[in-house]
Amino acid sequence: MLLSQFEGKKVLFFGGKGGVGKTSLASATALGLAQRGRRVLVVSTDPAHNLGHLWQARLGDEATLVAEAGAGGTVHAVEIDPQRTVDRHLAAVGETMRKMLPERMHTAAERHLRLARQAPGTHESAMLERIAEAVEAGAHEYDLTIFDTAPSGHTLRLLALPEQLGGWTEQLLANRDRSERFSAALRGLTPGAEDGPERRDAQLRRVLIKRRERFANLHRLVTNRDECGFVIALAAEPLPVAESVELAERLGELSIPIAALIANRRSPADAGELLAARREAEDRQLALLRGRLPQIPSTEVPLLSGELLGQHALSRLAEELFGEI
């Protein structure tokens, strides 16, 4: 069932409440699809950085090969470093500002950037730029990019940003248009005026247009049902189920398609009274979930014995998700 839901997708997001196994399910999905010949990139946007621990590999901001699965299938993994991402983002902004602003304003610009480092929204904006970069790189080098995301609230803020920032950039461009028309009128009145400001205006326009296109492309992708899907991971317990319903409703408001619900670590029904009772309670929660979200495909993964670390353990989880090759 999951194979059909993921067929043809270019990007998958795995999200849900913290602690429900998003990283494990995202990684097992990557491995299961790699075993079927796909080249997959897994990108962790979660500051907790569990991805490298799970794969027992040293990961960073560059793609690292973590599995070769035969039939040409591979899994590469990236852990986005939030602080490094913010540093890179502000360095790029600073370089652009220095090119565009007169030298007398450079000191003030540097002071503004130092303050911006701790400003609300800077981290999200930087992370969104990095996600857009990963999507663009993944489209050329991989068949599928999977994002292992931070807990629900943070992820929703990120996914809402492309449209918001795109609109903000549109407004900046409109303001530049008015400014450039005014400048042109002044040049007509004062022939021979220096063209330095005009060159800076043109460069700023190029930067803004590139930024607008990047956000517009990302927004088109995450709302395209054929190419993108959001997988909600959950535990069959009251709080994760309630949060999953909330998350699904919010994703619907953002027009982001949901590919599947995965109930992780289901208790066995035949391992004693305690677990049997727990299984019955889980059944009730899943019945509630399916009643609230009947249109979304769902599947279940049993609680597995042993520690879930390394490729062998992930292969077992992939079998539970997709069946044997």
Residue 130 has phi, psi (to 5 degrees) of: -70, -40
Q: Which helix (H) or strand (E) holds 233?
A: strand 228-235
Number of neighbouring beta carbons within 10 Å of residue 123? 20
Number of neighbouring beta carbons within 10 Å of residue 242? 16
Write down the catalytic residue from 46, 148, 195, 226: 46
Percent helix, strand, coil in the chain, to 5, is 60, 15, 25
Q: What is the DSSP string of 68-135?
A: EEETTEEEEEEE--HHHHHHHHHHHHHHHHHHHS-GGGHHHHHHHHHHHTTSTTHHHHHHHHHHHHHH
Q: Which of 101, 63, 57 is nearest to 80 (CA)?
A: 63
Q: How far is CA 83 from CA 64, 87, 199, in A?
A: 20, 6, 33
Can you tell me the distance from the alpha carbon of 181 to that of 40, in angstroms, rounded to the nearest whole number? 48
Number of neighbouring beta carbons within 10 Å of residue 114? 11
Residue 243 has phi, psi (to 5 degrees) of: -70, -35
Helices 122-141 and 152-189 cross at an angle (nearest 10°) of 100
Can you tell me the distance from the alpha carbon of 8 to that of 172, in angstroms, rounded to the nearest whole number? 36
Q: Which of 165, 178, 231 is nearest to 24 (CA)?
A: 231
Greatest CA separation for the chain: 90
Which amino acid is it at 124? E
Known catalytic membership, residue 46:
yes
Residue 67 has phi, psi (to 5 degrees) of: -160, 135
Active site residues: 46
